[in-house]
Amino acid sequence: MKVLVINAGSSSLKYQLLDPETGHLLAKGLCERIGIDGKFTYKPQVEGKKVLDAIDVAMPTHSEAIQAVLDALVDKADTEERAMSEEETRAFDEAEKEIQEIDATLAREERARKVTEVQPPMAPNTMTVEERAAAEEQAFSDFIMGRVTENRAGEIQMTQGNNGSIVPTTIANRIIKAVRDMVPFLSLADVVYTNGKLSVPVYGENATNYIKADYVDEGTDLSDNIGKFTTVDLNGFVIGSLALVSNKLKDNTDLNVVDFVVNQVAEAIAEKLEKEFVTGSTKITGITSATNGVTAAAATAITYDELVSLKHSLKQRFRANARWIMNPATYTALCKLKDNNGQPYFKEDEYKILGVPVIESDSMPTIAASAKAIVFADLSGYTIKATKSVEIRVLREKFSTKNMLGVLAFGEYDARITDSKKIAVLTMKAS
């Protein structure tokens, strides 16, 4: 009886043929680069037998590798001008069966790895931006879906904290972009993405006190009463959003859990920010706090002439980049205004008033007594300090009794009017 010893790795296979009765090594060799191009080595330990050193053999899987081993050993028996003995044949059959089982096990492990791990962790300097983003998003999805542990997810930019797992920057950046797309102010205003306190230089406290130019006579100083330099400080007020994902929902194989979480969190933050940017609070100053503008003659109606006056309350150079900001109900009312011939002043489907684009916001007040119903503004006069990064945590234990998982996101925001000359408000008459 002869014994075939196999040591199989992921892309290689070492083998030895032994005679247990004598302890002699009959043959040994190596199968390399399995699954790539395949290299086969056969070194008989019997004098006079042919050595096969690193020849090319196609080995897509371990099955082809073990077949190359068996073929070489069978060829050895042929060169001895004899058939393989019954014991050798049985040994080879058993060895082949064992290797097939090993091959099947390796295949299952490879399939499982692809399902649960995305890919083996790569060094940061070997990953492209696209590869890193894909790996981080897959790690986040797998962790939410329960396919990997916290530790395994941590190998792909998922870190752990006392209050839950911290989501990778790729997900945070997606939320920041989604919020920016949902809130027009973040595209049109003067936005600075930074962490910590921000001091913004401001020239002029109001629309009548700002930097001016004048002639300078020889020997005469410019008046120091033509402008005033100040600063406006923007702080970081934390705004948070909590998205709950039920275990039943995440078990839905058709659900893109990353898209779901990003959209849920972004929508909540966007709704809060838009309300703050419009009406403000004790923390953030909204655009409706502007003092420049027009007061309507009625408490419940707006005239065409009042819109013209509001538009021209801004200087011409600011009107070029200005926008109307109003509630959808207000825009609907304006689209119903008609001239003396019964023709509407504005077309409902153009979203323009007096040639200027309209931004609809549900956070804007509707037409009512004393309401600041319309803003006409070049939003570069409104400065927003937006969070440079969103911190996100996955909370498993806190909501486990509800059979849910929580995703908490929070960032820092603040906003102030930094150039009042660029913003005007139409205020409805008090009742």
SS3 helix, strand, coil % of the chain, rounded to 5? 35, 25, 40
pLDDT at 88: 56
260 Cα distance to chain centroid: 12
Strand-pair category, 198-203 with 229-234: antiparallel
The 3-class SS string of 140-161 reads HHHHHCCCCCHHHHHCCCCEEE
pLDDT above 70 for 163: no
CATH of span 127-431: 3.30.2400.10
pLDDT at 158: 46
What three-state secondary structure class fits 271?
A: helix
In 48-86, which positions are buried (b, 16+ CB within 10 angstroms) versus exposed (e)? eeeeeeeeebebeebbbbbbbbbebbeebeeeeeeebee
Whether 26 and 77 have beta carbons less than 8 Å apart is answered as no
Q: Mean pLDDT across the stretch 59-64?
A: 80
Confidence of residue 392 (pLDDT cuts 50, 70, 90): confident
pLDDT above 90 for 369: yes
Nearest to 411 by CA among 284, 282, 269: 269
Q: Return the top range by mean pLDDT from 98-112, 181-195, 224-238.
A: 181-195
pLDDT at 37: 76
pLDDT above 80 for 288: yes
For helices 257-279 and 169-182, the axis angle rounded to 10 degrees is 50
pLDDT in tens, 143-162: 766 665 544 444 444 444 44
Q: Mean pLDDT across the stretch 358-386?
A: 95
- Measured at the alpha carbon of residue 6, what is the angle toward residues 73 and 25, in degrees to the nearest 5? 55
Q: What is the dihedral of CA 230, 384, 274, 375, to 10 degrees?
A: 50
**77-86, 253-262, 276-285: least confidently modelled range:** 77-86
**81-90, 91-100, 368-377: least confidently modelled range:** 81-90
CB hemisphere CA count around 389 (13 angstroms): 9
> Mean pLDDT across the chain, nearest whole number?
78
Q: Mean pLDDT across the stretch 46-64?
A: 72
pLDDT above 80 for 185: yes
Quote the CA–CA distance of 108 and 105 in Å, as a whole number. Answer: 5
The pair of three-digit structure tokens given for residue 226, joined into one six-digit string: 């033509």
- Non-local CB neighbours of 269 within 8 Å, separated by 6+ positions: 175, 179, 239, 241, 409, 411
pLDDT in tens, 333-357: 999 999 999 999 998 888 999 999 9
Q: Mean pLDDT across the stretch 77-88?
A: 52
pLDDT in tens, 65-75: 888 888 877 76
pLDDT at 48: 56
pLDDT > 70: what percent of the chain?
Answer: 71
pLDDT above 50 for 214: yes
Q: Mean pLDDT across the stretch 381-386?
A: 92
pLDDT at 116: 47
Q: Return the top range by mean pLDDT from 21-25, 114-118, 407-411.
A: 407-411
